[in-house]
Amino acid sequence: MKISLKKSLNNNSMKNKRIAIVGGGPGGLTLARLLQIKGADVKVYERDVNKDVRVQGATLDLHDESGLRALREAGLIDAFKANYRPGADKMRIVDRDATILMDEDINASDEMSRPEIDRGPLRKILLDSLAPDTVVWDSQFVSMSETGNTWTLTFKNGTSAQADIVIAADGANSKIRPLITPIRPFFAGVTAIEGVVYNSATASPKIHELLSGGKIFALGDGKTLIVSAKGDGSLAYYCGFKSDECWYHNSGIDFTDKTQVINWFKEEFKGWAPVWLEIFENASTNFIPRPQYCMPLDQHWEALPNLTMLGDAAHLMPPYAGEGVNMAMLDALELSICLTSTAFPDTQTAIAHYEKEMRARASETAMMTLEQTDALHCEEGLENMMAMFSEH
C-alpha cells in the first residue's frame, strides 16, 4: 500500500494531539520538521544541554533514495547544498603500512549522488527549520507512564511533559523501546574504539595529509581502521576488530587513560605501521569502546495506538554499510506520511503500516550490513574491500 505525500495534508486523527519525539538526532529532528509542515503539535526532548554541544562522530553520506529524499520533502535541500562538503566522499583504501592501494571518488560522475555532510551542520539545518522552542534541551528521558490515552514523560532534570503520541528516536540504547517490544539486539562479533583528533593538520599531520579531506579505510589482519576528515578541521576514527561481547568490560583498559589505549593498540594491531600511532597519541577526547549490535532480522511486534520508534531504537545495526542515518531519516519521512494521511482510519492502523514497511526495509539492510561487517573483519578483509569497489 503506497501512501501519497500529497494526500496527507489533513488528518483529523492528528488534530489537537500532542506529539512528543524523544531524541534530537537526525531522525527525530527530520520527523519534527515533516510533521510541523503538516501543522502537527510537536515537541522534541533532547538530553544535550543546548544546541551548541559539539556533535561527535564521523561525516555522514546521505543517499538519494533515503536521507536526501527526506530533506527534499522537508524543503531543506537548498540548505543542505549550502552546507555539504564536496570532495569529502573521496575514499582511500590502504593496507596496514598506510600504502595507498586505491583512490575512489565515489561521486565522480554525480557529486550529489551520495554527498557528505558533518553531523553538526546537518543538525543545525534541521534545528533552524523548526518553530521556536520545538526542542526542549537538557531533557534526558527517565521514564513514562500512561493514564487513559495520555503519556506522562519524566526527565532527569525533574521536569515532566504530557503527550498523546510518543515517538522513540533515542538511539541504540533506547529506554522507550522496551515499552513496545522485549526483543533485544544480538552482538555482531565486532568492537570498535572511537577516537577524535581536533586540529588534525597540526596535531596529526601525516594522517591528515593521507586523508586529503576524505576517508581512509585501512585494513589488515582481520581488523579495520576507518578515519574521516571533518569540516571543522578535526578527524574521527574507529578501529574495529573481532571480539567477545564483553571485551571492553573484561579487558581491564581504562579508556580515559591514553597510555593504556596506546599500549593496547600496539599489541592488538601489532605489525601495523607506526604512523597510525599519531592519531592515538594526539587524541583530543576520551576513547569510546563501541561493541556492535544488530536487531534480529525477523523481529516483529504488534503496533500500539500511540507509541512507535524510528532509527537505531527500532533497527540497530553495525555502521559499516553507512546506512544508519539514512534509514532513520527515511523512517521519519514514512512515519510522517502515515501519521498525517487520510488513508488510515486511526493512528494505530497508521503506525502498524509504517512499522511493517520499516521492519521489512531494515531486515534487508541489516542482512547486507552484517555480511559486509564480516567481510571486512576477516583475514581477507583488504581483498574483499578492494573487490567491493572494483565492482562499481
Which residues contribute to the annotated binding site for NADPH? 54
Domain membership flag for residue 293: no
Q: Residues 163-197: pLDDT tens digits? A: 999 999 999 999 999 999 999 999 999 999 999 99
Strand partners, 143: 154
Tally of domains in the chain: 1
- Residue-range definition of the domain harbouring residue 132: 5-57+119-184+298-376
CA distance 153 to 219: 45
Q: What is the dihedral of CA 158, 144, 140, 50, to 10 degrees?
A: -90
Averaged over successive runs of 10 residues, the pLDDT of the chain (392 residues) comes to 41 79 97 97 96 79 94 97 88 95 67 78 96 97 95 98 98 97 97 96 96 94 95 94 96 96 96 97 95 97 98 95 90 97 95 98 95 95 88 62
Contact criterion met (CB below 8 Å) for 295 and 315: yes
Which residues contribute to the annotated binding site? 54, 61, 119, 312
C-alpha cell at position 178: 522496551
CATH of the domain at 322: 3.50.50.60
Domain membership flag for residue 30: yes
Domain membership flag for residue 269: no
Domain membership flag for residue 384: no
Contact criterion met (CB below 8 Å) for 219 and 385: yes
C-alpha cell at position 8: 496527507
Which residues contribute to the annotated binding site for FAD? 61, 119, 312
Nearest CA-CA partner of 56 in 172, 193, 166, 195: 195
Phi, psi of 275 (to 5 degrees): -60, -30
Domain membership flag for residue 367: yes
Domain membership flag for residue 64: no
Domain membership flag for residue 98: no
pTM of the shown model: 0.92
Amino acid 391: pLDDT: 66
Domain membership flag for residue 20: yes
Q: Residues 203-245: pLDDT tens digits? A: 999 999 999 999 999 999 999 999 999 989 999 999 999 999 9
